[in-house]
Structure 1
Amino acid sequence: MSTTTKRPTARPEAHGAAFMRLPERAWDCHVHVFDPCFPYREGRDYTPGTADQAALRDAHSAWGAHHAVIVQASVYGTDNRCLLDALSHFEGTVRGVAVIDPMTTSDEDLADLAEAGVRGLRVNLVAGGGALSRNLLQATADRVRGTGLFLQIYAPDDQIIARQAEIERAGVAVVLDHFAGGCDPNTLAPLLKNAPVWVKLSADYRLSPAPEQARTIALRRIVVFHDLIPNRLIWGSDWPHTGGGKDRLSRPAAQIEPFRAVDSLAVPKLMDEAGLSITACRDVLCENPKCLFD
């Protein structure tokens, strides 16, 4: 009998997707692709299952998503080969957000990334020791300035709040991942008013370990963020829903981490309950991301 362990693969089915299809030309602005053909970095926080470009295509076909934005995951570090390979399989309908070393990346490197479909550079202050790199955000902002690319930040709420002045001075468009790290929108109101900051309504389940509480928080955040920046809100499913929390801390990093079983379309379903009109929902799902990524 074989003792080989089969690597789990992300399923194309959206939990609850049968009850909703996204509007025509909708963008899913935050997905990851994990293909074990491309090596994961040493010192990573976790090892994902397989969620390759074919599985992503199947998932989006089920949901009715027409465009995607593939975000470089922390397990690949600054090695963007998996991201670039995935971008090459889509005929201009997919964009990318890469991760670089701002001290070693040349103008030619950035031009090559843009030519391949990359539209932003991500700074991750949560995973992979990013929180220890005090100058990473500023160095990446300096590197991206003048290139036409935007700066994307994944950070917890306390760091976003502490770095509001730094974000405002970045001099480029800034995208804040995952409900702006869970920040209270009212706390960010001055920043959102004074700088070209976008907020991504993604990973609602990371707002609280209690599902109902996370749903309640997400609903309130949608209302307030839409009141503050209706033209700079975008949505991402966060597919294929990597894990985290206590489970990750107790698991060896080299052991394959299962993906979460969550509703990929939970946030779009909440938009109607939050009181957004059909036009407003379409703006968030279709028009706003078109302005940012196209």
Structure 2
Amino acid sequence: MTQTNELLRLPEGACDTHSHIYGDAARYPLCPGQQPESNAAIDDYIGHAQGLGIQRHVFVQAKAYGLDPQCMLDGIARLGRHRARGIVMAGTLPGQADMAGLDEAGIRGIRFLFPEGSPIDLGAIRLAAERAADFGWSLLVQAQGPALGEVCADLEYMPCPIVIDHLGRFPAGIGADAKAFRTLVEFVANGGWIKLAAPYYGTPDGASDFNALSSRVHAFLDAGAERVIWGMNWPHPNLPAGRKPDDAATLTSLLAILRSDAEKRAVLVDNPARLYGFTPAT
């Protein structure tokens, strides 16, 4: 059962910066080989987010739709641009006029996914960063932590904000003092952004519990608390139906390790508002 905002005590204007929207396959065709997510349409998300006390939303284009953002764009329109933003999948970059149209529709970033074992394409990232900078967008980069450690120094010099996804996806055996992890902490200290999401990728037993990652979270906050954001990663598309986490419990575990009301407001309200262009919450 979803907890309420009263129990979670989220600050006014709390923002989820990472969830995916799915829709009717007849209207939004999936890419070959991709599986649908049940109970993951925009109305499902709205009900779930409202139950948690989340008031602002940044949707990340689901890889199931390839380069077609229409399902996500319709979700943004359903909520309204005063409450919702979106991040499109990297690929063939649209022309200037098309990017202007996406910006008007609420898009504020471009997503890069680099699966384990694939090289991080700095050339593609730089090209996208140059285009994104023209619109005040950011880039969202997801890769495995050790690979990220090798390119963080290059990412620091991109012309738009770079957000590293899912706490850098370091495996459970990597400590907060490991060289690759410290390189990512340095990236945040030097102006980079980090997203606290999907803790199950880094916990020893795959639990969706930020308590087990408190040393990592605190290292990022100490490096640059004004550049740390949070995302729910709903509906957790890489996990099977029987292993979907309790989002209320996950969020409660994050609140438990944030060390002050100022940190909670920074991570949940002020930082995403600044990065994605929401009106500051009062």
Q: TM-score, normalised on structure 2?
A: 0.83
Distance 2:249 2:268 in 1: 13
Asked if the contact 1:271–1:281 (Cα under 8 Å) also holds between the matched residues in 2, the reply is no
- The one-letter amino acid paired with 2:194 is V
Residue 115 of structure 2 is matched in structure 1 by 126
- CA separation of 1:213/1:86 partners in 2, compared to 1, >3 Å: closer, same or farther? closer
1:191 maps to 2:187: yes
C-alpha distance in 2 between matches for 1:21 and 1:263: 17
Equivalent residue number for residue 236 of structure 2: 241
Q: Contact between 1:157 and 1:181, CA under 8 Å: does it hold in 2?
A: yes
Structure 1 contact 237–265 (Cα < 8 Å) conserved: no
Contact 1:202 1:267 in 2 (8 A): no
Q: Does residue 114 in structure 1 map to residue 103 in structure 2?
A: yes
Secondary structure of the structure 2 residue equivalent to 1:287: helix
Q: Does 2:275 align with 1:292?
A: yes
The aligned counterpart of 1:208 is 203
Gaps of 5+ in 2: 278-282
- Residues 60-69 or 19-28, more deviating: 19-28
Partner of 2:54: 65
Whole-Å separation in 2 of the counterparts to 1:278 and 1:133: 36
- The DSSP-based 3-state class of the residue aligned with 1:166 is helix
| Aligned 8 A contact 2:31 2:65 in 1 | yes
Q: Out of 123, 128, 135, which is 1:140 matched to? A: 128
2:280 matched to which residue of 1? Answer: none
Q: Does 1:93 align with 2:93?
A: no
Contact 2:200 2:208 in 1 (8 A): no
Q: How far did 1:19 drift? A: 4.3
1:55 aligns with 2:38: no
- 1:82/1:209 CA distance change after superposition, 3 Å: farther
RMSD in angstroms over aligned alpha carbons? 2.6
**One-letter identity of the residue aligned with 1:179:** L
232-241 vs 17-26, greater mean Cα deviation: 17-26
C-alpha separation in 2, matches of 1:210 and 1:138: 36
Aligned residue in 2 for 1:82: 71
How many angstroms apart in 1 are the aligned matches of 2:267 and 2:40?
A: 26
CA contact (8 A) 1:78 1:99 kept: yes
Tell me which of 9, 12, 22 is aligned to 1:34: 22
Q: Does the CA-based 8 Å contact 1:68-1:94 persist in structure 2?
A: yes
- Report the equivalent of 2:227: 232
Query: Quick one: distance in 2 between partners of 1:213 and 1:261?
Result: 9
CA distance in 1, matches of 2:124, 2:33: 18
Map of 1:274 onto structure 2? 257
Change (3 A) 1:15 1:153: farther
Q: Aligned pair count?
A: 265
Structure 1: gaps (5+ residues): 1-12, 245-256
Q: SS of the residue aligned with 2:16?
A: strand
* Partner amino acid, structure 2, of 1:113: L
Deviations 1:19-51 (A, max 9, x none): 42422211011111111330111244x443240
How big is the shift at 1:149? 0.9
Deviations 1:242-287 (A, max 9, x none): 235xxxxxxxxxxxx5373312144542345435111221221111
Question: Take 1:113 and 1:225, find their aligned partners in 2: how far apart are those partners?
Answer: 31
TM-score (structure 1 length as normaliser):
0.80
Equivalent position amino acid for 2:167 in 1: F
